[in-house]
Structure 1
Amino acid sequence: MKKEKALEKLRKAKVEAVSNSTVIEVGRLELNEAIKALRIIIALQNILNED
């Protein structure tokens, strides 16, 4: 699914951001929020598809 690929890309971007910069606090927090939101969307979609 496209959402799972997007989630993996966000995770990779977070790892890269953390390893490449010392001043990434805002970027990291934004990436964390995007990852959380996408995980919730995927979980809800999976629940809806089970019914």
Structure 2
Amino acid sequence: MRYYTIGQFSKLVGKSIQTLILWENEGKLKPHHITEGGHRYYSEQQINQEGK
């Protein structure tokens, strides 16, 4: 499975990084995982789920 940084993912789904963070805070779209350093990673499968 491939993982994308929040910047890469935002370009793939056509949404801003701020929108993705807002959706995370609202519980609409959570990153696949967040590193100890706070880096967010999204999976290929989440591309079709964004914002749902």
TM norm structure 1: 0.23
Larger strand proportion of the pair = 2
Structure (1/2) with the larger helix percentage? 1
Work out which of the two has the higher radius of gyration on C-alpha atoms and give 1 or 2: 1
